[in-house]
Amino acid sequence: MDEGGFILDYWTPTGSSLAETDRQLQRIEGILKEDSDVERFTRRTGFELGFFATAPNTGDMTVQLRPRKDRASVYRVIDRLRTRIETELPAVRVEFHPDHCRISWET
């Protein structure tokens, strides 16, 4: 099912400082910005999907894709992004969750 977006969970190496995590996540943000199928995204660092604080080396991103008629399927986009992130940032672990994301953005 293609809901038009996905959640990207990430973990930088254990013990990474908030500054180092931010540096690596800025690189992931650059990858997202360069992908023509990504419309926008948000990032949380140090928090998971709940309301409790976690380590500074983990967090999530909510990614919204362009309208379905103007882009590849969510699964192709995820495959493309996963390959690029894992190649360019091998120390960062990422997980993608397309089935748990129904995005409603106000414009």
Domain ranges of the chain: 5-100
pTM of the predicted model, to two decimals?
A: 0.84
Choice between 101 and 21, residue whose per-residue pLDDT is larger: 21
| Run of H or E residues at 39 | strand 38-45
Residue 11, pLDDT > 80, answer: yes
Residue 6, pLDDT > 70, answer: yes
CATH number of 5-100: 3.30.70.1430
46-105 residue pLDDT tens: 755 555 556 788 899 999 999 999 999 999 999 999 999 999 999 999 999 986 555 554
Residue 107, pLDDT score: 46
Q: Taking CA 55 as the corner, what is the angle to CA 53 and CA 57, rounded to the nearest 5 degrees?
A: 130
CA distances from residue 86 to 31, 70, 90 in whole angstroms, order as listed: 11, 26, 5
